[in-house]
C-alpha cells in the first residue's frame, strides 16, 4: 500500500495502524492463491467469447422490444449463448424473473406434479425457498405443498459431505421422488459450498437408481468459479440470479434457467403461461446490459472471489472463525464469518455499507425481509439494488451471528470495504 493510500484511509475512515498492518500481512498471505483463479477466469472468458461468436452476436441483438415481444432476437439469442456456456440443450434468460428465487421456483413448479416428491440432498434449502416448497410454515398458500407436491430432505454427513448412502436408500424406498434438489452454495449455513465433483457424485448416485429423476441444481453464486458448470457433469436443470455472478454487475435484474429442453420449456410455462412459454416477453431495452454483463462475468466473479479470500485471511488474523479458510478450495463467492456477538455482526455489516459507492451515508438495520424467517441485515450500497455480486454483507439475526460477505465489482473496492468494516469492530 502506498503512503498516500494509507494516509487517506486513516484520515477519511479513521482506520488505525493495527488494522493496516493486518491488511499488509493478509494480502501477502493470499497472493499465492490467486494464480489458479486467474487461469480459471481466463478460460471462462474464452468460453463466453466463443459462445457469443458462435451465435454471431451483433448490434442488432441489443434489441428494444415492446408489447408481446414476439421475435425479440436479442432475447432468443441470449438464451442460445447461455445454453452454449452451460453445455445445455436450452436456456431461458429473462429480466422478467424478479430474482433467483423466482427462477428456481419456476423450474420446480415446471417439473413437479401433484403426488411427486421433491428430495433435497443438501439439508434445508435456502431460506426463500421455504415458502416455495411450503416447509415450516402454517401458511403455505400457493406453495408446492398446497399443490400436492411432497417434500423430503437428507442432511449432510458429519464431515459435511453429501450422504450418498442415505440418498440411494431413500430413492430406492420412495418411487414418488421425481426431483433431487442440490444447492451448490452455502446459503445461510455454516458449510462449504459443494464442488462440481460433489455434484457429479450425487448425480451419478441418483441416476444409478433411476435415470429419469431430475437432478436440479441451485447454482446461485457458483457461476464461473470453476471451469465447468453443474450441467457439464450431468445436471438436468440449473437456475440462478442475474444480480449475482453471471450478470457481471451490469445486468439490471433477472434470472436464468438452463438444462434439458423439455424441462426448460416446462419452466417457461411457469414464468409466463402454457402455450406461450419463452416466446413472449418484451425486453424494454435491457438486452445490451445482459450481454455485456455476461461478458464481464468471468472477470467480475473472480474479483469477488479474491475479495472473499482476502476477507477470510484478515478476519482470521483478527481472531474470528471463518469458512472457508483463505487457502481452501472454493466453489462459490461466499465468505462466512462467525462473530458470536450480535453487536459486532451488525457493526461489521454497517461498515460494509459505509464503504460503499452508493448509499454510503445510510445506516443499515435488521428488518423483516419478505421470504425470510429471521430478521435480516443487508449491507449493499450497490448500483443495482440488492445486487450481491457487488460488495455486500448480509446476515440473519440469529445465534451464532454469522455474516455472509460476498461480491465486489473490483478487488480493490472489496479490500477497502472490508478494511472499513473491520476497523469498526477492532476499535
Binding site for ligand PLP (CB under 6 A): 99-101, 104, 126, 128, 183, 185, 187, 218, 220-221, 241
8-state DSSP, 278: G
Q: Smallest distance from the beta carbon of 185 to ligand PLP, in angstroms?
A: 4
Provide the angle, in degrees to the nearest 10, between the axes of the packed helices 411-425 and 287-317: 40
Q: In a 10 Å sphere around its CB, with 0-12 CB exposed, 13-18 middle and 19+ buried, how is residue 109 labelled?
A: buried
In the chain, the N- to C-terminal Cα span, in Å, equals 21
In a 3-state reduction of DSSP, which class is residue 85?
helix
| Nearest residue to ligand PLP, scored by beta-carbon proximity | 100
In the bound state with ligand PLP, the residue whose beta carbon lies nearer, of 94 and 415, is 94
In the bound state with ligand PLP, the residue whose beta carbon lies nearer, of 181 and 313, is 181
Q: Smallest distance from the beta carbon of 127 to ligand PLP, in angstroms?
A: 8
In the bound state with ligand PLP, the residue whose beta carbon lies nearer, of 88 and 220, is 220
In the bound state with ligand PLP, the residue whose beta carbon lies nearer, of 280 and 391, is 391
- Residues with Cβ within 8 Å of 278's Cβ and at least 6 positions away in sequence, in order, are 76, 79, 92, 94, 264, 265, 268, 271, 272
In the bound state with ligand PLP, the residue whose beta carbon lies nearer, of 72 and 254, is 254
The angle subtended at Cα 187 by Cα 182 and Cα 188, nearest 5°, is 140
Buried b (16+ CB within 10 A) or exposed e, 8-26: ebeeebebeeebbebbeeb
Q: Smallest distance from the beta carbon of 187 to ligand PLP, in angstroms?
A: 4
Q: Smallest distance from the beta carbon of 21 to ligand PLP, in angstroms?
A: 34
Q: Smallest distance from the beta carbon of 42 to ligand PLP, in angstroms?
A: 26
Q: Smallest distance from the beta carbon of 65 to ligand PLP, in angstroms?
A: 25
Whether residue 206 contacts residue 167, with contact meaning beta carbons closer than 8 Å, is answered with: yes
Whether residue 412 contacts residue 400, with contact meaning beta carbons closer than 8 Å, is answered with: no
In the bound state with ligand PLP, the residue whose beta carbon lies nearer, of 51 and 193, is 193
Amino acid at each position: 500500500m502506498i503512503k498516500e493510500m494509507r494516509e487517506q484511509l486513516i484520515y477519511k475512515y479513521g482506520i488505525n495502524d493495527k488494522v493496516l498492518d493486518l491488511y499488509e500481512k493478509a494480502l501477502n498471505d493470499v497472493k499465492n492463491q490467486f494464480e489458479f483463479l486467474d487461469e480459471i477466469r481466463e478460460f471462462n472468458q474464452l468460453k463466453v467469447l466463443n459462445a457469443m461468436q458462435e451465435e454471431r452476436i451483433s448490434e442488432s441483438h441489443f434489441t428494444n422490444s415492446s408489447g408481446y415481444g414476439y421475435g425479440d432476437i436479442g432475447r432468443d439469442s441470449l438464451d442460445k449463448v447461455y445454453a452454449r456456456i452451460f453445455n445445455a440443450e436450452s436456456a431461458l434468460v429473462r429480466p422478467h424473473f424478479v430474482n433467483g428465487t423466482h427462477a428456481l421456483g419456476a423450474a420446480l413448479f415446471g417439473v413437479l406434479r401433484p403426488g411427486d416428491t421433491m428430495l433435497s440432498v443438501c439439508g434445508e434449502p435456502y431460506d426463500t425457498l421455504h415458502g416455495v416448497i411450503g416447509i415450516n410454515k402454517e401458511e403455505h398458500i400457493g406453495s408446492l405443498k398446497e399443490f400436492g407436491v411432497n417434500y423430503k430432505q437428507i442432511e449432510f454427513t458429519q464431515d459435511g459431505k453429501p450422504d450418498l448412502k442415505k440418498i440411494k436408500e431413500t430413492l430406492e424406498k420412495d418411487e414418488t421422488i421425481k426431483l433431487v434438489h442440490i444447492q451448490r452454495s452455502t446459503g445461510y449455513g455454516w458449510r462449504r459450498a459443494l464442488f462440481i465433483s460433489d455434484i457429479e457424485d450425487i448425480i451419478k448416485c441418483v441416476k444409478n437408481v433411476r435415470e429419469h429423476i431430475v437432478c436440479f441444481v441451485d447454482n446461485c453464486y457458483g457461476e464461473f468459479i470453476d471451469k465447468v458448470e453443474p450441467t457439464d457433469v450431468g445436471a438436468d436443470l440449473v437456475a440462478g440470479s442475474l444480480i449475482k455472478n453471471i450478470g457481471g454487475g451490469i445486468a439490471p435484474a433477472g434470472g436464468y434457467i438452463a438444462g434439458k429442453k423439455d424441462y426448460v420449456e416446462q419452466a417457461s410455462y411457469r414464468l409466463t403461461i402454457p402455450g406461450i412459454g419463452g416466446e413472449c416477453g418484451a425486453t424494454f431495452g435491457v438486452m445490451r446490459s445482459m450481454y455485456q454483463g455476461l461478458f464481464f462475468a468471468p472477470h467480475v466473479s473472480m474479483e469477488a472471489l479474491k475479495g472473499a479470500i482476502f476477507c477470510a485471511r484478515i478476519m482470521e488474523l483478527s481472531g474470528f472463525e471463518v469458512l472457508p479458510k483463505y487457502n481452501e478450495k472454493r466453489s462459490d463467492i461466499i465468505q462466512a464469518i462467525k462473530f458470536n456477538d450480535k453487536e459486532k455482526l451488525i457493526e461489521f455489516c454497517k461498515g460494509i455499507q459505509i464503504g460503499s459507492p452508493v448509499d454510503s451515508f445510510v445506516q443499515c438495520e435488521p428488518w423483516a425481509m419478505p421470504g425470510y424467517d429471521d430478521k435480516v441485515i443487508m449491507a449493499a450500497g450497490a448500483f443495482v439494488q440488492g445486487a450481491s455480486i457487488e460488495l455486500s454483507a448480509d446476515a440473519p439475526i440469529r445465534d451464532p451471528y454469522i455474516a455472509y460477505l460476498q461480491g465486489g465489482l473490483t478487488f480493490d473496492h472489496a479490500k477497502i470495504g472490508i478494511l472499513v468494516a473491520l476497523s469498526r469492530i477492532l476499535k
